[in-house]
Structure 1
Amino acid sequence: MDDVTTYPARDLLLDGFGRIRDGVPEVVDGLSAEELLWRPDRDANHIAWLVWHLARQQDDQVAHLAGADASVWTGDGWVERFGLPYPPDAHGWSMSSADVGRFTVADARLFAAYQGAVHERTVAYVEGLEATAYARVIDRHWDPPVTVGVRIVSVLDDAAKHLGQAEYVRGLVQRRR
């Protein structure tokens, strides 16, 4: 037995979040602004909104877990770079179809860059967690109460779902060509 302590949860989470980081550039690469904003129907989410939202929810939740003063979105100037028609603290939860329709694309390269910055903060947070930290309760409003580990898995799950949705819409966009 060697002296190296392993943290399987950490390693699995880092792998999962790495897949999100790798998937974002793949889903937006080569698409025009019009294609990024195309909606399968008037109430569906488009690729741009899905990718932005998956990064924003990860950013906000990891910032909260890490006790950061600000999310990467507001603290590192991404809100200004994107120039979206939403309040600075918007993250996509509870947005209406009309809200999604107001989304704009200033530069398609911003999606991967922003997700990359969020990923860096996520990695730093996960790498800094001791194995016992995963069991710490952070929200008693649920039954059972939410722990750090459950919240991190929830963040990863939400990001993976939205990335999959964006990949599906990309397939629809490509079939339209």
Structure 2
Amino acid sequence: MDRDTVTTLLLDLLARTALTLPRLRELSPAELNSHPGGHPNSPAWLLWHTGREIDMQLAHLSGGAEVWEEFRERVGLGEIGDTLGYGHSHTEAASVQVEDFTVLIEYIGATLGAAHQYISGVSDWGEIIDTYDGEPITRHVRMTSILIDAIEHLAQVAYIAGMPSVLS
């Protein structure tokens, strides 16, 4: 696939990801930090992790700084906030307690803005940047994976937020 086609497809996927943010019902602090069904990942964790997974991977791809630097204090998670979240123990995941829904949405929005800038400037989507199980991973594949992961986590929050009776 040529560069312009890949860029167009990724910008479309990015736009679809961004469209989910204003459609999420605002959650109260109690709802945000609830653990439906006793699951360790609360809506706050899912939102925070969405931003972190975009941010950390994008910084690695671009060689730039993480957007997190601008949000660390506002989100107020301390050291656990600097992690990715993948592989968190139940205790670590439960420690992600955020009182402000809006700051999480703003963080994700800022990471998506950084992703837009990155996607618009990539010249070689076919460049192999990593391997997974011995198979090459291209920039195109990695960026697609980042955005699909974000969509999946945002969809989980939307699903939970649509069932207020499970939030307690």
TM-score by length of 1: 0.84
Q: What is the aligned partner in structure 2 of residue 13 from structure 1? A: 10
Any conservation in 2 of the 1:63–1:71 contact (CA below 8 Å)?
A: yes
1:43-102 CA distance string (max 9 Å, x none): 34221111110111011111111111x21102xx21111011434531211112222211
Q: CA RMSD in A?
A: 2.2
Secondary structure of the residue aligned to 2:129 is strand
Of 97, 100, 103, the match for 1:110: 103
State yes or no: 1:156 paired with 2:147.
Answer: yes
Any conservation in 1 of the 2:32–2:44 contact (CA below 8 Å)?
A: yes
Secondary structure of the residue aligned to 2:162 is helix
State which structure, 1 or 2, has the greater radius of gyration over its C-alpha atoms.
1
Any conservation in 2 of the 1:38–1:173 contact (CA below 8 Å)?
A: no
Q: What is the aligned partner in structure 1 of residue 49 from structure 2? A: 53
Q: How does 1:1-177 map to 2 (within 5 A)?
A: 7-27=4-24, 29-68=25-64, 70-74=65-69, 77-87=70-80, 89-130=82-123, 133-140=124-131, 142-173=133-164
Any conservation in 1 of the 2:46–2:153 contact (CA below 8 Å)?
A: yes
**Counterpart-to-counterpart distance in 1, 2:92 and 2:8:** 37
TM-score by length of 2: 0.88
1:71 maps to a residue whose letter is E
Give 5+ residue unaligned stretches, structure 2: none
Give 5+ residue unaligned stretches, structure 1: none
Structure 1 residues 117 and 151, CA, compared in 2 at 3 Å: closer, same or farther? same
